[in-house]
Amino acid sequence: MAERWKGTALLVIDMQNDFIEEGSVVQVKGGKSIIPNVIRVVELARQRGILVIWVVREHDPQGRDVELFRRHLYNSEKVGPTVKGNVGAELVDGLIIREEEDYKIVKTRFSAFFCTHLHSFLQTSGITKLVIAGVQTPNCIRQTVFDAVELDYTCVTVIVDATAAATPEIHTANILDMKNIRVKTPTLHEWSEEST
């Protein structure tokens, strides 16, 4: 591993069928278009020796662990979004967890840090720099990024075209907010050109 990437982890957030595929009640409209870029980010991370961490939502079938504003999506008549063990909770085609080298964190709220052991795991793994890809920019991406900044990670990078929101305008506004707190916001091409 090049010195440049030591202490770096890639967080791939919520790239699951229910957030990406057509027809889901929680589909992120811009999500499908970023799949190739997220795949490429993961490939680059692996080539660079960067730890890949898959951050996913997995919920109780009755929705007892979901935010109050989403509880209505879980009832006996239909299966709610990202229920553990269901197809909707699986990663989209093209993204695969390598059990031997990757790591998986399950969350039930926007931030990957909220009520998870992510921070503790990163600290004990010597991780001080984060690269982030996935959906969706104003919610899970933004909240995770702001928490990472609050927790004093020395460098937080959001790959602009490997993250997405419901509309380009929402995405751009949230990227600007993150840029304003000194988060790096390269494109995939720019990130891929950084020295190895």
The stretches of 65-167 forming alpha helices (DSSP H) are 118-124, 142-150
Query: Could you confirm whether 115 is annotated as catalytic?
Result: no
Query: Could you confirm whether 14 is annotated as catalytic?
Result: yes
> Among the options 18, 129, 140, 147, which is catalytic?
140
Residue 1's pLDDT band, with cuts at 50, 70 and 90, is low
Q: What is the dihedral of CA 106, 188, 50, 138, to 10 degrees?
A: -30
Is residue 104 scored above 90 in pLDDT?
yes
H/E stretch holding 130 reads strand 129-135
Query: Could you confirm whether 140 is annotated as catalytic?
Result: yes
pLDDT score, position 78 = 76
pLDDT score, position 70 = 92
∠ CA 72-74-75, rounded to 5°: 95
Retrieve residue 57's tokens.
């939502």
> Candidates 3.40.50.10860, 1.10.10.10, 3.10.310.30, 3.40.50.850; correct CATH number of 3-193?
3.40.50.850
Mean pLDDT score of the chain: 95
Write down the pTM of the prediction.
0.96
Is residue 105 scored above 70 in pLDDT?
yes
Is residue 181 scored above 80 in pLDDT?
yes
User: For the segment 38-80, what is each residue's pLDDT rounded down to a tens digit?
Assistant: 999 999 999 999 999 999 999 999 999 999 999 999 987 778 9
Span 168-180, average pLDDT: 97
> Among the options 18, 107, 129, 147, which is catalytic?
107
